[in-house]
A and B are shown apart, each in its own frame.
Chain A
Amino acid sequence: MSLLRMIGVGALLHTKQLSRSPFEIATALIVPVVQATLAVHLFRAGGEPGRLLEAAVGAGLMGVWSSVLFGSGGAIQNQRWQGTLEMLMLAPRPPALVIFPITLSTAVTGTYAMLATLLWGRLLYGVPLTFAHPLLFLVAAPGCVLGLGMFGLLLASTFVLMRNANALANTLEYPIWLVSGMLVPLTVLPGWTGPIAAALPTTWGARAVHEAASGGPVWPSLGICLAISLGCLASGALMMTYVERRARAAATLALA
């Protein structure tokens, strides 16, 4: 129970902190809305006005991923810049447990993107928010966010080894959008991308949310997303412990 409380309180604290940042808010709200507008016009131009909800949901998922990618990628570096990394690492808990709430909060902040794109689509373009499984959507979206938060820990632990993780994060934004089928259906991609897509929690999370919106079996996709994400969480925890010990031994924790 204390473990869950720690994760919950930590995620809430970091979400509050992120919610005070004009940069985070603007990025999480405005950029996905621009992308949603782009998607809506593309779907209209393609003669697919019936799929506008799919476009809005897809753009929202893209925003969640961007938030996780840049937030988790920069999680350690940001703590380092703020001078709080040493204190986090001195906490009497495994480092992964201290960092996980940060990556979870970046995913929670990313849900602004989903809400913003849905509201934008509804208010400006009259996109009907008629979900095939409305209640399941309310389960699938947070489930996807939780999964991406767990995936974020693996990213954070990997990126900590790199001096400028944010620059690398730029490279990973479009490939994951593409291969996970957030906006582009996987069926139009080359066959060799299939195994890569199947291994990514983002693919299954996006599928679960799309199925909740447009119809389909939500639970299997959501289950696979969470299972892969748990694997990522375990791998990320191991990596984080290794990195922390190495940084302590080499006395490089505070070095940018």
Chain B
Amino acid sequence: MALFRLIGTGGVIAYRALFNWTTPAMFIGSLLVGPIFQLLFFAYLGRQLGVADDRFYIVGNAVLAASLSCVFGGTMAVANERRFGTLGHVLLSPRSRTAVFLGRVLPYAGNGLLIAVSTLTVGALLLGLRVPPEALPALLATLAVAALSCGFFGLTLGALGLRFRDVWVVSNVSVALLLLLTGVNVPAAELPGWMRAVGEGMPITHAAGAARRLVAGEGFAAAAPALAAEAAVGLGYALLAALLLRVFEAESRRRASLDTM
């Protein structure tokens, strides 16, 4: 119980502390409106080139919408502690730092889920997509798994922040790579084999496939394998993040490089 409290309450407190720069207007403008324009950009481009229909872009970009806040949030969960000068205090804690950091992903994943749902709803209303009502619970679960997966991916990048100074470069490039490699905007069949292979190991890829099946009315059974693959990718990043955090924490203590900016 104490562990769950540490994960839950600790995550929420850290979210409020590290996400303190935003205001409601900023949140709506940056995190809710921005992804809608991203969706419209690719939908119109796809329409003009005749690459895929609106459904492809609405669903894909709605899943992708979770990534921005989750990847940057996961990175912030570690990197901003260093920036604000509080990382040492966290690492001095007698409790499990792995649990502390993994718990921080949860509020950001919740945030990402809210953004994905909002983007899907507005995108569907603006471009006229009908989602089968019976698909909604599974679709919500898919978006939640995608958000968690992105959050753990972000935490993995954040763990690099214990070792490298310019971790935001890595985050920016990673978010751009998610656009390219996950098959959200370019159908996977049109990408070279190595790009598809890299995409298979990134968050979003499988969730987008599952969400597209659900919206097409193929049912949960058809989407389940892709959803399971997305969950496996997310779990993989969670384990990788936990490992990197432990290794880099130990190394930063050994090299006395904890607060190096």
Contact = CB atoms under 8 A, between A and B. Distances in A.
Nearest to B187: A45
B179 A34 contact: yes
Given A34-B177, A164-B22, A168-B30, A42 B169 contact: no
Contacts of B177: 34
Contacts of A45: 49, 51, 186-187, 190
B48 A185 contact: yes
A214 interface: no
Contacts, number: 98
Interface in A36-56: 37-38, 41-48
Interface stretch (A95-103, A131-139, A174-182): A174-182
A43 B173 contact: no
B172 interface: yes
Contacts of A23: 166, 168-169
A252 B186 CA distance: 48
B130 interface: no
- Dominant secondary structure of chain A at its interface with chain B: helix
A42 B50 CA distance: 9
Interface residues of B, number: 35
A163 interface: yes
Given A34-B176, A168-B26, A171-B33, A42 B185 contact: yes
Interface in A198-230: none
19 contacts: A37-B180, A38-B179, A38-B185, A41-B180, A41-B190, A42-B45, A42-B186, A45-B51, A164-B21, A167-B22, A167-B29, A170-B68, A171-B34, A174-B34, A178-B44, A183-B41, A184-B45, A188-B48, A189-B44
Nearest to A162: B26
A167 B48 contact: no
Contact of A48 (B49, B176, B186): B49
Interface of A: 22-23, 26-27, 30-31, 34-35, 37-38, 41-48, 163-164, 167-168, 170-171, 173-175, 177-178, 183-185, 188-189
Interface in B156-188: 166, 168-169, 172-173, 176-177, 179-180, 185-187
B47 interface: yes
Contacts of A47: 49-50
B162 to A, nearest CB: 18
Nearest to A46: B49
B136 to A, nearest CB: 27
